[in-house]
Structure 1
Amino acid sequence: MQAVSHAEMRAAAEELARVFTRTWNMRDGPGYGEAYWPDAELVDPTGQIWGDRDAIAQMHVDLWSGPGRTTEATARVRRIRPIGRDTMILDLDVEVKGFSPAPPGAQEHGDRTIKSHLKHIVEKRGSDWKIVASQNTFVAAMASK
């Protein structure tokens, strides 16, 4: 298999950021989960580990269905780092507005905005790029000044 181009990785990264934003804002748990490989793992900002695509999708469905959980997210690609011919580290900067109350451990950055850094390991299998591992870390309010 030939190594993929940086342009292909960039396109995949941008698409994953769009999928994150679209599925979060539509409260589409199955769609959100489709960005992950079935054997994926997510470590959320509280340190809880979600062990596969179905668990990751269901956790988000549960998050969005809680009281005061009318939120709107945006995600942008901060960095792409190839680590193999079909694997990359994708860093997303995420802002979510509207949490009430804020999730455990999160600090608001004004206008009820929570910021986090999502670090994904993304792998190409066949023609699809999907997340195999993810770490989400809240940004402390003082760090954004």
Structure 2
Amino acid sequence: MMGRTPALPFVASLLLLTSACATTGAPPTEADLVQLVNAQTEAWNRQDAKAWSKDFAADASFINIVGTIFEGRDEIEQRHAGIFASIFKGSRSQVTVRKVTFLQDDIAIVDTTHEVTGHPGLPPGVQDTEPGLLRTQMRYVMKHVDGQWRILAGQNTDVKPRPAAP
């Protein structure tokens, strides 16, 4: 009898865990994250800052391609509205999800490559990777909360052009 008592708390914990999984549904998948990135890309191509920013957590942080930090969804939206009205007005983006890493079922790192064309200007210090093409690498940290993914943090880094051959 003494040898069986430690199993009781284990079984109770297992039942609670099973019950919790059953009530939340299937765990989020990589396809869910790709869908979010695709929706964000469509929003960029419509120049819709509100839709582009909607999946950021209210207290998210975002580091843009020149190293400026935006704090919170509202600032991220405002700053993107500004670039859609100026240096990226009329631009088009094509985004490829390069890698998804699940740290837990509800936390993921999403790495993407962005190719932006049709931009009338670029921020100081940023160059096209090739004539007319700005390529950047974006990294998002995302968390699945209340049935949807939220971007907690993002960083966008421009890819520099290859040096000219000697």
TM-score for both structures, normalised by structure 2: 0.78
Out of 69, 76, 100, the position equivalent to 1:56 is: 76
For structure 2, the residue ranges without an aligned partner over 5 or more in a row are 1-19
- Report which structure shows greater RCO (CA 8 Å, sep ≥6): 1
Partner of 1:33: 53
- 1:112 maps onto 2:132 in alignment: yes
- Looking at secondary structure, tell me which structure has more strand per residue: 1
Q: Which residues in structure 2 correspond to 1:80-99 (within 5 Å)? A: 80-99=100-119
Q: Which residue pairs with 2:122 in the alignment? A: 102
State percent identity of aligned pairs: 24
Letter in 2 for 1:27: Q
- Between the aligned partners of 2:41 and 2:133, the Cα distance in structure 1 is 15
Q: Alpha-carbon deviations, 1:9-65, whole Å to 9, x = none?
A: 311221122122111011111111112111111011111110000110111100010
Paired residue secondary structure (1:142): coil
Residue deviations 1:44-93, cap 9 Å, x none? 11111100001101111000101672200111110001112310000011
Equivalent residue letter for 1:114: L
Q: SS at the partner of 1:70?
A: coil
Q: Distance in 1 between matches of 2:98 and 2:117?
A: 19
Distance 2:88 2:114 in 1: 19
Alignment of 1:11-50 (within 5 A): 11-50=31-70
Distance 1:45 1:128, change over 3 A: same
Q: Which of 122, 128, 138 pairs up with 2:148?
A: 128
Cα RMSD of the aligned pairs, angstroms, is 1.9
1:102 positional shift: 2.2
Shift of 1:103: 2.3
Structure 1, gaps ≥5 residues long = none
Number of residue pairs aligned between Structure 1 and Structure 2: 141
The question of whether the paired residues in 2 share the 8 Å contact of 1:97 and 1:111 is answered with no
Larger Rg: 2
